[in-house]
Amino acid sequence: MAIGLIVIGDEILSGRRNDKHLPKTIELLGERGMHLDWAEYIGDDPARITATLRRTFASDDVVFCTGGIGATPDDHTRQCAAQALGVPLALHPEAERLILERIADTSGDGQADLTQADNRHRLKMGEFPVGCEILPNPYNKIPGFSIRRHHFMPGFPVMAWPMMAWALDHYYLDLHHLRPHGERSMLVFGLAESTLTPLMEQIETEFAAVKVFSLPSVGDSERGGHYARRHIDLGVKGDPALLDGAFEALRKGVEALGGEIVEPAAS
């Protein structure tokens, strides 16, 4: 089971809005000892959204999907999810109740006047794929929905993030801190990544529960210090019980190759 993120919206792909969901998702997962395995960005294209969801529904992945669950012409996610699952859309009774509460909360007289066309139209935001469960929205009560380990939320961060946190704590508490994880890294100078590759492969062979990572940089003058020089951020990540041994073996290997090391990796 992997964890994925789908961010939907033309405004992200056109640059009219900057995506904030990816770093926040990583943060929310990290707080719970979990990590993100993949992420995808999709425009407001119903065929592409449906095809993507059909593929992810066929997997065992946990998927968080933001955007496109409103009731304007460019919102297609609810319909696409239903189509991908081969089920109809229907007004969810609990969603209807919550939307009517929201309408009453924002009206002048505390009533949900359904003689008004715009209020009746708002109920479309509660039309979800049959068989789903409500995903609570603490910001304004207008819910999202969850079905088959997929959780659909609005694109607004103020709504999506607490909804994502709720889903993680409500559905996946047993996955919190299930996979112990740690990282150690060093800055390496004077060696090419190709020179380090055999050493990295050797470490991963000797320490099966550890992955080696290398992030080359031509130099970052904004960070300054050691980071301003051409370097490779080289390290190991994985089972904390094995990190020290793997890191020491990696360090000795770099030294044997004649590399200069600065550790910890800080400016």
For position 266, what pLDDT does the model report? 44
> How far apart, in whole angstroms, are the C-alpha atoms of residue 128 and residue 3?
22
150 closest CA partner among 80, 97, 89 = 80
The SS3 of residue 138 is coil
- Tens digits of per-residue pLDDT, 210-248? 999 999 999 888 888 888 899 999 999 988 888 999 999
Phi first, then psi: give them for residue 211, nearest 5 degrees: -110, 145
Residue type present at position 85: L
Please state, in angstroms and rounded to a whole number, the distance separating the CA atoms of residues 152 and 134.
10
3-state secondary structure of 87: coil
164-218 pLDDT, tens digit per residue, is 999 999 999 999 988 778 899 999 999 999 999 999 999 999 998 899 999 999 9
Residue (of 8, 13, 18, 11) closest to 52 by Cα position: 8
97 Cβ partners below 8 Å, 6+ apart? none
What domains does the chain contain, in order, with CATH numbers?
Answer: 3-175 (3.40.980.10), 182-262 (3.30.70)
For 20, 102, 202, the CA distances from 5, given in Å and listed in that order, are 12, 28, 32
pLDDT digits (tens, 9 = 90+) for 128-173: 999 999 999 999 999 999 999 999 999 999 999 999 999 999 999 9
Taking the whole predicted model, whether its pTM rises above 0.75 is answered as yes
| Interval 12-51: pLDDT, tens | 999 999 999 999 999 999 999 999 999 999 999 999 999 9
Q: Is the bond leading into 88 cis (omega within 30 degrees of zero)?
A: no
The percentage of residues in the chain with a pLDDT greater than 90, rounded to a whole number, is 81
